[in-house]
A and B are shown apart, each in its own frame.
Chain A
Amino acid sequence: GAGVSQTPSNKVTEKGKYVELRCDPISGHTALYWYRQSLGQGPEFLIYFQGTGAADDSGLPNDRFFAVRPEGSVSTLKIQRTERGDSAVYLCASSPQGFYNEQFFGPGTRLTVL
C-alpha cells in the first residue's frame, strides 16, 4: 500500500518568505508527527496530532511555526518569515495510534532558506 507522502520534495525560498509543507499520512493512521532533521543530527520532534487536534506541540521552536490537520488526515506545516536557520529536512511520520506503535516516515521535504 501507499506509504507516507510529502510534498514538495525540495523547497528553496528566500529569507523572510512564507512556506507550507504538506504531509499525506498512511490511510487510517490517526497519529501524525512532524520532525526536523538538520545536517549531521538525528530528527528532532516538532508536533504530534491525534486526529485533528495537536496533542503535543512542545517541539515547535517559536511562533513562526504552525501546523494544522483540519480533517484528521493531511497535515500542513507552515513557517512564517523563514530564516536561514530553518534550513533542514522536515520529516512527517504516521502511526495507527499514538502510543507504542511503529511510526512510518515519509521521504521528507528538504527546505533551503537563502
Chain B
Amino acid sequence: RKEVEQDPGPFNVPEGATVAFNCTYSNSASQSFFWYRQDCRKEPKLLMSVYSSGNEDGRFTAQLNRASQYISLLIRDSKLSDSATYLCVVTGGATNKLIFGTGTLLAVQP
C-alpha cells in the first residue's frame, strides 16, 4: 500500500465548477501536510499547507482530519488556469522529506 493515496483522475470539469480532491496517508506520525501543484512538464510548486483547523486561500480550501488520516482540497469557481496535477504531500521521518501521492489531474473545460 502506498504511503499517500490519491485518485489519479482525470477530473474534467467546466469553468465555474467546484471540484474536490481527497487523499489518505498511512503514517500517523506525519507532521506536516501540503498540496502542491504541478503543471505539465514543470516542477511541483507549493499551493498551500494544510492544517487541522482548515485553511482557505481565495478559491482554495484545504482540510486535514488527523483521526481519519485524510486530507482534502476544494477548488471553487474553477478557472481554465487551474488545469494541472494536484499532488497531496505529507512529511516523513525526522528529516522532513516530502512523500508525494501520484497526483490528481484536473482539466477545466471552457
Residues of chain A having any CB pair with chain B under 8 Å: 31, 33, 35, 40-45, 48, 50, 55-56, 58-59, 91, 93, 95, 98-103, 105-108
Task: List residues of chain B with CB within 8 A of the CB of A55.
Answer: 95
- A45 B98 Cβ-Cβ under 8 A: yes
- B98 A35 Cβ-Cβ under 8 A: yes
How far is B31's CA from A98's CA once the two chains are assembled, in angstroms? Answer: 14
Q: Is B1 located at the chain interface by the 8 A CB criterion?
A: no
B26-56 vs A, Cβ < 8 Å mask (1 yes, 0 no): 0000011000000000111110000000000
A45: nearest chain-B partner, CB-CB: B97
- A42 B102 Cβ-Cβ under 8 A: yes
- Checking A43, A56, A102 against B95 with a beta-carbon cut-off of 8 angstroms, the contacting residue is A56
A108 CB → nearest B CB, Å: 6
How far is B87's CA from A93's CA once the two chains are assembled, in angstroms? Answer: 16
B46 CB → nearest A CB, Å: 5
- A107 B102 Cβ-Cβ under 8 A: no
- Checking B43, B97, B101 against A42 with a beta-carbon cut-off of 8 angstroms, the contacting residue is B101
User: Which 9 pairs of residues, A with B, have the shortest CB-CB distance?
Assistant: A42-B100, A105-B43, A56-B95, A45-B97, A48-B95, A43-B100, A42-B102, A99-B96, A102-B46
- Checking A59, A91, A98 against B96 with a beta-carbon cut-off of 8 angstroms, the contacting residue is A98
21 contacts between A and B (CB under 8 A): A35-B100, A41-B102, A42-B4, A42-B101, A42-B103, A43-B44, A43-B87, A43-B100, A45-B92, A45-B99, A50-B95, A56-B95, A91-B43, A91-B44, A93-B98, A95-B96, A100-B96, A101-B96, A102-B46, A105-B43, A105-B44
